[in-house]
Structure 1
């Protein structure tokens, strides 16, 4: 299979706000506590954002692209029941800071029972490093950044009985003091990504350096059973500039002409897109067999 190495660019542009542009703003809460890094987005559309670590958010609402009758804003976070808000109700309250309350989701993860058998430590994904690539994140420069929450990742073929040990990704260029990401996993059994529930948010920071970043997953006790392929993505939550010239963070990757191995969506509730891009990322896992 022929591999073509090219520049791969995801742009995260900051949004300008005119006086006529409605902005839905507020705070995501659970009781009296803030819900950090909750996602807020319009179902099926490229409109969304992410709350900050204190639960505060601002979302631009281009009303000319929205239907009061058919469109819904989804507010969600790991471990909570998602909340649906009508565009009509939100539109009437624009200009006032609003509190959005989420309730805990008391779901029970299936208890994993390891049966006697062979176990091997295996790697799933791509550990090669491409030199001509950039997955670019631009810093916030305006009052509202409407690009938060974009996700990118890969489709990985896996064994049917694995327990995750770590996640690894190669940062090829970094002009930031820090970028915070959320790691997420999706069931691709029917080709439409369905979020695989985990016990808590898996967050990691880039720091100011380049090279491989390793995220230890053992404490999260993530076991995946009966799946032949999954989606593994990172979601951009926030970034901190080193200086005014900070412009991008790039992730190594390459183009596979005959494969749709890339997974991407521009907002937390937008439609998923498959691409020919393969990023330098992989999982290490214990693989069990009888």
Structure 2
């Protein structure tokens, strides 16, 4: 099989392998040239997306739906979003630099009245019979790197002021020595996730093929959901993985069919969201008014 290779620079290159095109590059902080880990990179609604690795490097696989006029978006919490046409990326001779953005802090109002907070579990706390599983693996993925930036999660009803303490989910299969995910909290509009409402990098790691209930401690991040947020989408996003062996591919969370609950998923960063009538074993512990 012939391979045609066109080097655009040390950092950005476009590889054409048969009918498959791959953009390779690196994302750095504009201020100090340090690599940016786990930057979301993708093309909106084209099932094309990935995240940069811990060294800021990325590999973006382009499918046959992509044209030179499509826009690749680089998005990272705390930094200004950057966009390039595919045709522009072909001409870049340096890494992608993202500029830090001044983050507006939400005002904290201290009330002299003592408010009694009550513990609340938001979501499904049961494993059920373990008959249904929501798997991060699909038949069409050639390797686990095809899952980079994939997300799954649930719609939760809030309707009160809550301080989020942790996220919990039940893992039913896990072929990985190490897995890194990011927790995302989204606003919901027209029944689908839209903008992030918690603008912090909530990254956690699952080690040693862990199975059962896994807790993500969110207390250090001071996450407060106000009562005007009636509904929120909470997801986990695949960032990095280390297989246990060459055949490793499965990672799943228990779920059940439910006409009254909504699960969300998308295969790539910037991709369109899918929703289904499922109720993942996936819940928040919070202190609420």
Q: Please, what TM-score do these two structures have when normalized by structure 1?
A: 0.84
Please say if residues 134 and 280 of structure 2, whose CA atoms lie closer than 8 Å, have aligned partners that are also in contact: no
The residue that corresponds to 2:81 in the other structure is: 82
Please say if residues 47 and 146 of structure 1, whose CA atoms lie closer than 8 Å, have aligned partners that are also in contact: no
Give per-residue Cα distances to partners, 1:20-57, cap 9 Å, x unaligned. Answer: 42211111110310100111100122111111111100
SS of the aligned residue for 1:89 comes to helix
Bigger relative contact order, structure 1 or 2 (CA pairs below 8 A, ≥6 apart): 1
The residue that corresponds to 2:162 in the other structure is: 162
| 2:244 is the counterpart of 1:242 | yes
Give how far 1:286 is off. 1.3
Q: Structure 1: any 5+ residue segments left out of the alignment?
A: 1-16
The residue that corresponds to 1:283 in the other structure is: 284
- The aligned runs of 1:82-121 (5 Å cut-off) are 82-92=81-91, 98-115=94-111, 116=113, 117-121=115-119
Q: Find 2:120's aligned residue among 122, 125, 143.
A: 122
Distance 1:84 1:22, change over 3 A: same
Give how far 1:145 is off. 3.2
The residue that corresponds to 2:203 in the other structure is: 203
Give how far 1:104 is off. 1.0
Give per-residue Cα distances to partners, 1:81-134, cap 9 Å, x unaligned. Answer: 1111112212456xx7x5111111212121222433231111101101030233
- The aligned runs of 1:6-155 (5 Å cut-off) are 18-31=17-30, 32-62=33-63, 64-69=64-69, 71-92=70-91, 98-115=94-111, 116=113, 117-130=115-128, 131-137=130-136, 145-155=145-155
SS of the aligned residue for 2:96 comes to strand
SS of the aligned residue for 1:146 comes to helix
SS of the aligned residue for 2:220 comes to helix
Q: Structure 2: any 5+ residue segments left out of the alignment?
A: 1-15
For 1:245 and 1:66, the matched residues in 2 are separated by 31
For 1:58 and 1:44, the matched residues in 2 are separated by 18
Alpha carbon RMSD of aligned pairs, Å? 2.2
Please say if residues 78 and 198 of structure 1, whose CA atoms lie closer than 8 Å, have aligned partners that are also in contact: no
Q: Please, what TM-score do these two structures have when normalized by structure 2?
A: 0.85
